[in-house]
Structure 1
């Protein structure tokens, strides 16, 4: 079975946040990847609004939105509903392998126990067979994502390792998680920890935010302040809400753990963006309290400047995200 992720972000929230004087400047020159609004809302755990927007996008023929609409409906109802299955099937019929995998897994869904699973256009085995038919040729050609999808289809860890070695950051992250939970064989003491750190670094270098947050935990335990400075800034630039929360608090010295120059304007700007998530993910009360704490230190002029800084960040960075797994359980 796919390994479960150990949650380490909670400790980070209390211990980490770093600053970089060049973060706005470096981001301004980057190209921000756009995605359908419905997917952005889904990644922000704004499920009701996401369903409304995804329905519009899916109906217009966006295959990715069809898949995510299936995900959103299934998660909201906590089981495979007829409507969720309809949209998974729409995406699958347009060769979306992720949708095929979810349809193949439906035999383990709660609706089995409830006795109300909708009828299938194909059996679970047929959907898995179709997913494999599409993924295997590309995997055999060394395509990193297809190698990972073969792992999801077969749960054979060899595919996961092949994908990780091919440079797929998500596979590298799950290699780290699986080894941290005891998979793999390591003869010498300490080699397992070294391998976990290696995979998290590679995944972080590949741009995967959850790997960055776990890697930061290792750097904190090692007392690597320089590494912490580097990686939390990068994590914040991905839009990861936990990284932005840490980054904003510490550059505003609320509290100051690393000793970076005080930047109330930028810190408050980042928390004003986090407020837009409202209480998604249960962060609302913390964000409100931290925002008030920072605001008390600011002049009216600084508060106005923070509005400009927030606008600049929004325009030059990816949307805030909780980065839920694409193949959600």
Structure 2
């Protein structure tokens, strides 16, 4: 006969059935999660792929309204990333999570997109909660956040640096940000550098803080993250390292980061550059006119319209003609202009 203490801890048959059902559900979710990670989306048609890229391009230029129609075409192919950006564009255009945005996120999340799971997990903090018209969906925000954490944790345990970054977003545990940065995710490296800039972290000496900021900003920039390139420009100008300042500005411009393009174009348009940029009115005019396509958000048009006339008045008709041709060439040989908004930003 079993001792009474052990007997009381042994589940009854009904309890065992409940446990089996719970465990079976957990196993099913785990299996589906693995499938989501290992099986790619159904291949998009050429038209859908083009629409996806154009939609994301417009979204990254703060043109959410224009992006929606393209993303809808791509979303017909059930691509989880296109669905996520459709949700983002719809939500930001309306300033809250509409039923349409919720549906796009949910379809994306079902295909294993952790970003969409995180969005759904914060739905009860959205304006729709205040308005009391949030789409209830099939799964609650708490359950979506739990699924996001489970899937991100599984991927992070396999060394995926981006999933470590997502774990930081989900849990708020700074150890995950450190791990993601150390494993080479450029966005995490940039976030860690800005965290130190804003006074986070503990350093015995101010010089140690500056060293840490430069270390992670440089790591992110060298890993190709354009906002960090401009971050390095700020670090180097503080050190009065003008050659490095010019170099990072040009790299940011070449990457088509809007802030980098505007800064670089403005500097090379100055007759007497205090930072030592060589005068190049043709390239300055070309890059500034390319920025005119940013007629959505970001207020870039205003800055360009304030700067461009001062460049143009010092140019000949021949130079302006050359600049217009260069603008076309530059656009066709460089990535689309982008503000590089935070993928989980609000």
1:47 aligns with 2:64: yes
Match of 1:19 in 2: none
Alignment-derived partner of residue 6 in structure 1: none
Deviations 1:131-161 (A, max 9, x none): 2232222211211111111111221111110
Q: Is the 8 A contact 1:268 1:294 kept in 2?
A: yes
TM normalised by structure 2 equals 0.82
Say which of 103, 106, 119 aligns to 1:102. Answer: 119
Given candidates 306, 312, 317, the residue that maps to 2:329 is 312
The question of 1:66 aligning with 2:83 is answered yes
Partner of 2:256: 239
Q: TM-score, normalised by structure 1?
A: 0.86
Q: Is the 8 A contact 1:254 1:294 kept in 2?
A: no
Residue equivalent to 1:141: 158
Counterpart in the other structure of 1:250: 267
Instruction: For 2:147 and 2:318, locate their aligned partners in 1 and report how far apart those are by CA, in whole Å.
Output: 60
Give the distance between the partners of 1:293 and 1:182, measured in 2 at CA.
39
Q: Quote the offset at 1:236 in angstroms.
A: 0.7
Residue in 2 that maps onto 1:128: 145
Contact 1:254/1:290 (8 A) holds in 2: no
Q: State how far apart, in whole Å, the 2-side matches of 1:276 and 1:188 are.
A: 46
Give a deviation string over 1:274-318, Cα, whole Å, max 9, x none. 011125311212212212221111111111111221112111111
Contact persistence 2:193–2:214 (CA under 8 A):
yes
Please list, as runs of the form range in 1=range in 2, the aligned pairs for 1:145-224 lying within 5 A after superposition: 145-224=162-241
Q: What displacement does 1:180 show? A: 2.1
1:316 and 1:287 mapped to 2: Cα distance?
Answer: 22
Cα separation, 1, equivalents of 2:259 and 2:150: 38
What is the match of residue 46 of structure 2? none
Q: Does structure 2 conserve the Cα–Cα contact (< 8 Å) formed by 1:249 and 1:255?
A: no
Runs of 4+ in structure 1 displaced over 3 angstroms?
A: none
Q: Cα offset for 1:70?
A: 0.6
2:304 aligned partner: 287
- State the number of aligned residues: 296
Q: Deviations over 1:32-76 (max 9, x none)?
A: xx9610000000011211112212222233321210111111112
RMSD: 1.7
Whose radius of gyration is greater, 1 or 2?
2
Contact 1:71–1:328, Cα closer than 8 Å, also in 2: no
Q: Post-superposition shift, 1:257?
A: 2.4
Q: Does the Cα contact within 8 Å between 2:63 and 2:296 map onto a contact in 1?
A: no
Q: Does 1:274 align with 2:291?
A: yes
Match of 1:228 among 242, 245, 251: 245
Query: Residue 303 and residue 82 in structure 1: after superposition, are their counterparts in 2 closer, same or farther (change >3 A)?
Result: same
Q: How far apart, CA to CA, are the structure 2 residues paired with 1:251 and 1:180?
A: 29
Identify unmatched segments of 5+ residues in structure 1: 1-33
Alignment partners' CA distance in 2, 1:204 and 1:255: 28
Write the distance in 2 (CA, Å) between the matches of 1:215 and 1:164.
16
